[in-house]
Amino acid sequence: MAEYSALQVIRNALGGNEHWKPLWRKPDPKPAYNVIIVGGGGHGLATAYYLASEHGIANVAVLEKGWLGSGNIGRNTTIVRSNYLLPENAAFYEHSMKMWETLSHELNYNVMFSQRGIINLFHTPAQEDEAARRGNAMLLNGVDARFVRPEELGKRMPALDLAGSSRLPVLGGLEQPRAGTARHDAVAWGYARAADRRGVDIIENCEVTGFIRDGTRVTGVNTTRGDIYARKIGVAVAGSTSRVLAMAGIDALPIESHVLQAFVTESVKPCLDCVVTYGGGHLYISQSDKGGLVFGGDIDGYNSYAQRGNLPIVEDVMSEVVELFPAFAKLRLLRSWGGVMDMSMDGSPIITAGPLPGMYLNAGWCYGGFKATPASGFCFAHTIATDEPHPLNAAFSLDRFYRGYVLDEKGQGATPWKH
């Protein structure tokens, strides 16, 4: 298939756009593959792509139970950042950030990664020190960071209420200038197209219904489109992790599924040029290319597979938007939706071989999975291909919890709904 380019777009337009080809084939599953990736979301597709591109393993199938990208890759608030405190997280997410910076070229698909910056606002002297601690950690870990003072914040965000409710005035913000947003669906489509071009079979509407075992070893999967065998099976199914692994007899994991809601307003002309988070609660907000304000807050806080949430969080989140931007009270909520988050016990992910021989697990992304997509796929592919973790995901093991090497970015302990 031809490379995408402006020229190509014009040439096709002259032909009435009749000659565009599907981004990925619709193959029937083969009886066996070298590697099966369960889960056709961002992480699964990226893993397949890097298996093919980095490790030369193209005999790969990605199995998706619904339509490609129907999970969290298309439900998040599109934020890409690497402003982490703990060195293990910083290294991983910064690697991801670097991959994002060249991803559109790598995939020959415009994922619209826009490095508009993310600003974490702080409102008390204690929060300022916290922000400095994080910002300094970022700089020492080789990540970009800067302090933004209220005057600059006021200029960049004219609708921001710097005085706040006087209880929580805006004292400043910690910015990661290289952070930003990307077009979430495009990431899935871009990886799917690029993986497909390297020979990966992407099989939609193919639900895994069981695992085929040879002793303890996992050797294949039963699916709604027949049994498929593989030497290695990677599972990257986010909120469905417990459900899928239960089919392999794993009845408990350090993961709970929780619903996270996200919101978008009607489109308006550009009025918010960066991603902002509120320090007086939990809110992250940015404006999409189309003009809608996209935002979210806390997870609902109870186990759920329902992909929809309830009103208390809706009210909390709206009150925080209006607290920060009183002018936005008159903007209107257009749509809300929910995704199922695989909340881990320390808020950090798991990328590992196991828990059964022949199986590999990629999970525990909480609500930070989107920005991790490239590095997650890259590290998971490495782990699957070499049976060893990449140095970047060595800390994201499954046994870290029991050994006490938790990566607790928020310090909330094993209370997954508080991460």
Partner 1 sequence: MSGYRRPSGGKVIERGKSITFTFDGKQYFGLAGDTLASALIAGGVSVVGRSFKYHRPRGIVAAGVDEPNALVTVLGDGAREPNIRATEIEIHDGLVCESQNRFPSLDFDMRALNQLGGDALAAGFYYKTFMGPARWPFGGTRTWMAFERQIRRAAGLGRAGTESDTSRYDRVNAHCDTLVVGGGKPGIVQALEAARKRRRVIVCEIDPTLGGYASWSGDPDISAMITQLQAMDNVQILTRTTAWGIYDGNAVAALERVSDHRRDRAPGEARQRMWIIRAGHVALATGAFERPLVFPGNDRPGVMLASAAQRYAAMYGVLPGKRIAIVTNNDSAYTSAIALKARDANVITIIDLRSEVSGGARSIASVAGARLRTGQAVVATAGTGGLDSIQVAPFDHRTRRPTGRSEGISCDCLLMSGGWSPAIHLASHAGGAPRWDDTLKAFLAPEDGRDLSLHGAAAGDFVFGAGLSPAPAPVYEVRAPGKAFVDFQHDVTADDVRLAHREGFHSVEHVKRYTTLGMATDQGKTSSLPGQAILADALGRPLEQVGTTRFRPPFTPVSLGSIAAERFGDLHPERITPIHDWHVKNGARMVAAGHWQRPECYNRWKESVEQAYIREAKTVRRGVGIVDVSTLGKIDIQGPDAAAFLDRVYTNGFARLPVGKSRYGLMLREDGFVFDDGTTWRLAPDRYLMTTTTANAGPVMQHLEYYLNVIWPDIRVHLTSVTDQWAAMAVAGPHSRDVLAAIVIDTDVDNLTLPPMGIVHGRIAEVPVMICRLSFSGERAYEVYCGAHHGAHVWNALIAAGEPWGILPYGLEALGALRIEKGHVTGAEIDGRTTARDLNLDWMLSTKKPFIGSAMMDRLGLVPITRQALVGVVSINGEKFHGGSHIVESANPKKPGPSLGHVTAMCYSPVHDRYIGLALVSSGRARLGARLYATDPVRSASHVPVEIVRHVMVDPSGDRMHG
Partner 2 sequence: MIIPCPFCGPRDLAEFTYHGDAARAAARPAHGSTDQEAWDRHVYDRRNPAGSHAEIWQHAGGCRSHLRVVRDTRTHEITETTLYAPEVSQ
From the list partner 1, partner 2, none, which binds 138 (C-beta under 5 to 8 Å, kind-based)? partner 1
Distance CA 184, CA 10 (A): 25
Amino acid of residue 251: D
Contact 363, 344 (CB under 8 A): yes
Site mask, partner 1, residues 65-104, x = CB under 8 A?
-xxxxx---x------------x-------------xx-x
Output the CA torsion sign for 400, 401, 404, 405. positive
| Phi, psi at 5, each rounded to 5° | -165, 170
d(Cα 335, Cα 375) in Å, to the nearest integer?
A: 30
Smallest distance, partner 1 to C-beta of residue 211, A: 27
Which of 38, 255, 317, 341 touches partner 2 (CB under 8 A)? 255
Cβ neighbours for 211, distance < 8 A, ≥ 6 positions apart:
218, 220, 221, 222, 233, 247, 248, 359
Residue selected from 32, 322, 394, 414 as contacting partner 2 according to rule CB under 8 A:
414
CA distance 171 to 150: 6
Structure tokens given for 257: 């599924």
251: partner contacted, choices partner 1, partner 2, none (Cβ within 5-8 A by kind): partner 2
> Length of the chain in residues, anyone?
419
Which of partner 1, partner 2, none has residue 30 at its interface (CB below 5 to 8 Å by kind)?
none
Work out whether 345 is an interface residue with partner 2 (CB under 8 A).
Answer: yes
* Residue 151 contacts partner 1 per CB under 8 A: no
Q: Which residues in the 309-328 window bind partner 2 by CB under 8 A?
A: 310-312, 315
Among 10, 54, 210, 243, which residue interacts with partner 1 (rule: CB under 8 A)? 10
Q: Which one of partner 1, partner 2, none interacts with residue 290, CB within 5 to 8 A by kind?
A: partner 1
The reply to whether 227 sits near partner 1 by the rule CB under 8 A is no
Measured from the CB atom, the residue of 129 and 388 that comes closer to partner 1 is 129
- For position 362 contacting partner 2 by CB under 8 A, the verdict is no
Q: Which does 136 bind (CB under 5 to 8 A by kind): partner 1, partner 2, none?
A: partner 1
Of the candidate residues 190, 254, 279, 347, the single one contacting partner 2 (CB under 8 A): 254
How many angstroms separate the CA atoms of 183 and 181, rounded? 7
Paired strand residues for 326: none
Nearest by Cα to 258 from 341, 338, 339: 341
Q: Judged by CB under 8 A, which stretch of 112-120, 170-178, 206-214, 302-310 contacts partner 2? A: 302-310
- Of 243, 290, 335, 410, the one binding partner 2 (CB under 8 A) is 243
To partner 1, the closest distance from the beta carbon of 367 in angstroms equals 18
Run of H or E residues at 189: helix 184-197
- Decide if 419 contacts 410 (C-beta within 8 A): yes
* CA–CA distance, 81 with 15 (Å, rounded to integer): 40
Distances (CA, A) of 63 to 26, 40, 209, 224, 255: 12, 6, 11, 10, 22
Structure-token match 């029991």, residue found: 402
Among 147, 229, 337, 417, binds partner 2 (CB under 8 A): 417
Could you tell me which stretch among 197-205, 224-232, 244-252, 273-281 binds partner 2 (CB under 8 A)? 244-252
Question: Is 337 near partner 2 (CB under 8 A)?
Answer: no
Positions in the binding site for partner 2 (CB under 8 A): 240, 242-243, 246, 251-257, 301-306, 310-312, 315, 345, 401-402, 414, 416-417
